[in-house]
Chains A and B, each alone.
Chain A
């Protein structure tokens, strides 16, 4: 009798182990989804017993956040794999699987350190970096050549070059993403970091009031606003997001553009871009101050596992994540979807150099990209920065008032 029970249990486990179905919340934007579907086919050649079902997510990051809040708040076991923005791990940490013991399994020591850091919450690994992003400076190679300029190294230089070429060509000088949304925090962080300043320090302490840092913040923000006030960037940047700046740039209506790597392949596509082949990419300029540096905000997406999934599903999910973040698959994704690898070694692959030369050339930008504050309160911190800095850029308040209001709100949020 006992034997029979054990036997039937073994058979049952074998049957259950034979096929596992997992669902994955994934991006659904054109190329991205297509590439992922192909990757699933490749994965099934190695693991025919794991069925991966995709749950396409809305385009906007905020809408995805709303959906995850609904899923995780209700503690549903689906989706098993969550594709999360680099700023969310701390907030979602209580709802996702602890992967600290799988550090070796995912070979995280071979990843870009900044991306691994974004998935680490109080020493625990909660998300595996899938692809990375960093703010870049796009410029019109042809126009810079025509007027004999080098790629600007500081914001002051950029402003001069942009203003000069813009007035001669009758186009915009520079385009940012300064609508009141998460992108504004990215753009502003790049300015602030490039002047050696910050809103919060590495431990989450509000440092806006520290005298040296305060002076740097004022310089950085004043410089950013002067782009709008002096007409180098159109006033409309205060309403633009990524796509509203990419379109005018690739229509030849701007000399410079700050944007993410995805722009490269689109702006070089002769079918939709008027300036294909005339574009250069460079690190964003430094602050004109002692201790200024080139800075890029770290973006990108990570993969996490739902804590409420079953053990078998979690196991299958780990296998799929390992597959997606393997060397070959990251190279495949980089070449076909234009999304930057998170593994260091992929950047020296000759095939990548051919397909997306700028990714290889700007390796230093990606390895040094700076994360936004890692805190479970991130969405609140970001919301406060968005509102106060947007008010300043609109001219509703001066820089001192904006920083003072932001300081007291951040202190209230973080309980300092």
Chain B
């Protein structure tokens, strides 16, 4: 209990506390109590608001795609076929590569001069030759989401697969005898029993996506997420002014947004932790 308090709650409370002050790490900047000023300022900060929207858009699209792809993959992998174990292990490779490494790898593949993905898109005529994929806001958002989906859908699939395997096969046999169609079996048996697993998988991924940092930071710094913007405030500006309380306020807002999402999920999926 004490360990949990020291490692988890103390930094949390300290961050909350700091967010009501104006101070910096440079010596000579006095620490002043300013109440909610940091929060008020935050919502007038267009750069932060843009980063908030970027994060939400990224989360919504990438988690949806990962869920659909992950579920489809899990259903396929749940069937019996030769080399099932090998395939199950193989699809996890993208997940096993550290994000910083795979981001850099994809950044090279998107390069307009020698990147293979860029060349394929140019050849297909989907992009004008020479277009830098990672410079414009929309193309780079699509590109980054694609990398995130490539990386995380297998993880989603594995989580869902674990859930699928807990469903007893007798249920399907009984349904087949009753003449239920494949779709009906899926909506009446698979989905309801799988829903706690789905909830856990979605919570994991959504919370991860809301605090996304490395993919954006490495692939395109000009599209900021909340975490990337906060790094800028806390690191680049640590010694240049009274920004530290402001950075703490951003951390608190990220924390609150993540909590809200978590609560919504748990409520709507009737998930109870007992």
Question: Which segment, of A111-119, A126-134, A141-149, A231-239, faces chain B?
Answer: A231-239
CB distance from B46 to the nearest CB of A (A): 11
Question: Which segment, of B34-42, B233-241, B251-259, faces chain A?
Answer: B233-241
Q: Are B235 and A180 in contact (CB under 8 A)?
A: no
Q: Are A94 and B241 in contact (CB under 8 A)?
A: no
CB distance from A248 to the nearest CB of B (A): 5
Whole-angstrom CA separation of A394 from B113 in the bound complex: 18
| Residues of chain B with a CB closer than 8 A to A260's CB | none
Q: Are B132 and A238 in contact (CB under 8 A)?
A: yes
> Which residues of chain A (359-402) have a CB below 8 Å from chain B?
376-380, 383, 387, 390, 394
Q: Is B28 an interface residue (CB 8 A)?
A: yes
Q: Max chain B CB contacts within 10 Å: which of A172, A236, A378, A380?
A: A236
Q: Is B114 an interface residue (CB 8 A)?
A: yes
| Residues of chain A with a CB closer than 8 A to B222's CB | 180, 387, 390
Q: Are B113 and A236 in contact (CB under 8 A)?
A: yes
B interface residues, tally (CB under 8 Å) = 26
Given contacts A234-B130, A235-B131, contact A380 B27 (CB under 8 A): no
CB distance from A211 to the nearest CB of B (A): 29
Given contacts A69-B25, A94-B28, contact A383 B236 (CB under 8 A): yes
Given contacts A94-B28, A387-B222, contact A236 B237 (CB under 8 A): no
What 0/1 pattern do residues 296 to 326 of A give for CB contact below 8 A with B?
A: 0000000000000000000000000000000
Q: Is B203 an interface residue (CB 8 A)?
A: no
Q: Which one, B134, B135, B220, B236, contacts A380 given CB within 8 A?
A: B236
Q: Is A124 an interface residue (CB 8 A)?
A: no
Nearest residue (CB) in B for A88 is B239
Whole-angstrom CA separation of A180 from B236 in the bound complex: 15
| Residues of chain A with a CB closer than 8 A to B26's CB | 94, 376
CB distance from B154 to the nearest CB of A (A): 28
Q: Is A91 an interface residue (CB 8 A)?
A: yes
| Residues of chain B with a CB closer than 8 A to A66's CB | 231, 235
| Residues of chain A with a CB closer than 8 A to B240's CB | 91, 376-380
Q: Are A236 and B130 in contact (CB under 8 A)?
A: yes
Q: Which one, B25, B112, B221, contacts A234 given CB within 8 A?
A: B112
Q: Are B111 and A236 in contact (CB under 8 A)?
A: yes
CB distance from A283 to the nearest CB of B (A): 26
What 0/1 pattern do residues 26 to 56 of B give for CB contact below 8 A with A?
A: 1110000000000000000000000000000
Q: Is A73 an interface residue (CB 8 A)?
A: yes
| Residues of chain B with a CB closer than 8 A to A92's CB | 239
| Residues of chain A with a CB closer than 8 A to B235's CB | 65-66, 69
Give me 30 A-to-B residue pairs in the complex whose CB atoms sit less than 8 angstroms apart, sorted by A's number. A62-B236, A65-B236, A69-B235, A69-B239, A73-B239, A94-B28, A179-B221, A180-B221, A234-B112, A234-B130, A235-B131, A235-B132, A236-B111, A236-B135, A238-B132, A238-B135, A239-B111, A239-B132, A239-B135, A244-B111, A248-B113, A253-B113, A376-B239, A376-B240, A379-B236, A379-B240, A380-B236, A383-B232, A390-B222, A394-B135
Which A residues lie at the B interface, using CB under 8 A? 62, 65-66, 69, 72-73, 91-92, 94-95, 172, 179-181, 234-236, 238-239, 244, 247-248, 253, 376-380, 383, 387, 390, 394
Which B residues lie at the A interface, using CB under 8 A? 25-28, 111-114, 130-132, 134-136, 220-222, 231-232, 235-241
